[in-house]
Amino acid sequence: MKHFVVLALIACIYATSITEMTDKLAQYSDHPFGKSMVNLVSVNMKTGGSLNELKQLLQQIKDELIALTQLQDQENATFTRRSQVDLAKLQATLEQAQADLDNQRQEQSSLSNELATLQTRVKEDQAALDRNGRGSGDAQSRLDAENTDFSAKYQDYNDAILACKEAQRLLMNLRGEGASLIQLTQDTKSNLLQTKENFQKIKEILEAHTKKSSLTLFQPIIEGLAEMTTKVNPETLNNVLSLVARLITALQEGQDQLETNHKTQVENLTRLGDDLRNEKQTLQVSLATANNRLKEIQSRLNELDGLINISNALVEVTQLNIQDATKINELEDSEYSNQKVSRQTEIDIVDRLIEYINQKLSE
């Protein structure tokens, strides 16, 4: 009976202790670790285990929890540092890729503007080269026409001067013979008539390109020659000879002026041709340079298209990597915070139990 009373007393004390301990840990009633610790202490007390040994065990558990918390802090700090370094590298990569992309787009825009300018210049140079070709052909045609015209006119002057000298010789012979109508032979009359006709033809030929002042000399000469075919008047003869001499001088002056004008015209046309050839060479060099630059620009623009695509892709991938890294960091921080709160709760639970054991030991 006595033994039964003792057991009942122990059971009552145990029940009271469990109730007190449960009250102290009421706020952790739903915590798995709290339940485990309550069960551990309950079993120990139920089996009559040593409270000091139980306290040492709880202290050891607390020390391990604190050590685990410190280890997690260190690991989190290391992870945070590495994450910051990785994010900084990703950010630097992103900034460099964006800077490269901006530079490439600026270069692309600048080259596109230069390309448009050069294309306009090429069209203008080609148009100028076409005009130059037409101008060169026109200058050469004018030079050829000038030479042909000069040769014809110069020969006309030669023929006219020769005819005048022949007429002068014929008239000089007549004056030396003291010719009269009775003394004129048929041959002389024929020669005078032929000479008159020659002067008429020369006059018609020279009307297109000789001085008008010299043309006025033809008509009195022709009339004088016509008169002498029927009657040789010494006064008329001398007058015609004088007119012929003046005409020869006028024709020689006209021929000299023709030659001078021709020389000037040839020099001008030759200079024009030289200028056009120099302009052609300049235009050809300019055009070749522009076309070469166009090829360089087009090649670089094609290259930039590829580089811009690569830079765009790098920017997009890096942005995604930064987003992923940020999310991982946020998840890691959240997990670390939860673990830290959970670990601190476990330490608090052990502290409450140690406090409870100390209280029991002091009773």
**What would the mean pLDDT of 192-205 be, rounded to a whole number?**
80
Task: Provide the pLDDT confidence category of residue 25 given band limits of 50, 70 and 90.
Answer: low
Q: How far apart are CA 24 and CA 357, in angstroms?
A: 12
Name the residue with higher pLDDT: 21 or 207: 207
> What pLDDT, in 10s, does the model give residues 31-56?
788 778 778 788 887 887 788 888 89
Nearest of 102, 103, 97, 106 to residue 317 by alpha carbon:
97
Nearest of 19, 18, 15 to residue 40 by alpha carbon:
18
Q: How far apart are CA 224 and CA 226, in angstroms?
A: 5
Q: How far apart are CA 35 and CA 332, in angstroms?
A: 28
On whether the CB atoms of residues 242 and 209 are closer than 8 A, the answer is no
Task: Provide the pLDDT confidence category of residue 186 given band limits of 50, 70 and 90.
Answer: confident
Across the chain, what does the average pLDDT equal? Answer: 84
Q: Looking at mean pLDDT, say which of 8-12, 156-160, 220-224, 268-272 comes out highest.
A: 268-272
| DSSP letters for 273-298 | HHHHHHHHHHHHHHHHHHHHHHHHHH
At residue 190, the pLDDT reads 84
78: pLDDT strictly greater than 60 = yes
| DSSP letters for 139-156 | HHHHHHHHHHHHHHHHHH
Task: Provide the pLDDT confidence category of residue 290 given band limits of 50, 70 and 90.
Answer: very high
Q: How far apart are CA 56 and CA 53, in angstroms?
A: 5
Nearest of 358, 339, 357 to residue 41 by alpha carbon:
357
Q: How far apart are CA 170 and CA 195, in angstroms?
A: 9
Q: How far apart are CA 246 and CA 164, in angstroms?
A: 10
Nearest of 71, 34, 82, 36 to residue 339 by alpha carbon:
71
At residue 301, the pLDDT reads 94
At residue 110, the pLDDT reads 96
At residue 126, the pLDDT reads 92
Choice among 24-33, 67-76, 101-110, 267-276 with the minimum mean pLDDT: 24-33
Task: Provide the pLDDT confidence category of residue 13 given band limits of 50, 70 and 90.
Answer: very low
DSSP for residue 329: H
Q: How far apart are CA 184 and CA 174, in angstroms?
A: 9
At residue 206, the pLDDT reads 74
At residue 193, the pLDDT reads 83
pTM: 0.58
Q: Looking at mean pLDDT, say which of 40-49, 228-237, 299-308 comes out highest.
A: 299-308
